[in-house]
Amino acid sequence: MSTLKLIIGLGNPGAQYTNNRHNIGFQTVELFAQRHKLELSKFQMQARLGDGWVQRASQRQKVLLVKPLTYMNNSGQAVGQLVRYYKVTPADLIVIHDDLDLEFGKLRVRASGSSGGQNGIKSIIDHLGSQDFARIRVGIGRPPGRMDPAAYVLQDFSKADEEIFGPLREKICDAVECWLFEGITPTMNKFNGS
């Protein structure tokens, strides 16, 4: 159980994007880092990184937390370089990202699959040459009325949204821990029903 696992949150770098819906991946990786007292203090391969151990009961798992700094649509550039550098397989990755097509405030854990139109995931698939990596899709719902989806994802979460997404980020961290120690199938069974 000692192989390195990469926990990748997708988002856009820069203070203006910090609280955006599109940055739910970054937000969750930061929360996971706080929870496990890991520092996101390294910069390597176009990404901000934090590494260390996650402990659960008597089990330990070495992790690398990853925030690609390439902007969402080019996330695969950073992820591809890191996968090659650390000699991990796609099965050692979990990617957290926003999803317009999933109901607001829902999460779905997937073992693999297409990008579903999410450009960050598409970029990772292109750079890895594989769809076989776990991901946690976080539902942000569709934009209201005729609003442009690109504008919608770059809006900040409102105070009302945070009442849902605050607890949801904690739940995503729980799902990542489950994946680390129990694997993808138990994680899907446990978190996809809720």
Distance separating the N- and C-terminal Cα atoms of the chain: 28
**The token pair that represents 112 in the structure block:** 């693999």
Contact in structure between 56 and 181 (CB atoms under 8 Å): yes
**The token pair that represents 29 in the structure block:** 């990786």
* CA separation, residue 37 to residues 18, 65, 79, 101 (Å): 21, 12, 23, 33
Instruction: Determine how many CB atoms are found less than 10 A away from the CB of residue 106.
Output: 16
Instruction: Determine how many CB atoms are found less than 10 A away from the CB of residue 74.
Output: 18
- Residue 36 catalytic? no
Which of the following is catalytic: 22, 36, 97, 127? Answer: 22
Contact in structure between 72 and 153 (CB atoms under 8 Å): no
Spell out the alpha helix ranges (H) of 58-183.
75-85, 119-128, 149-153, 159-182
List active site positions. 22
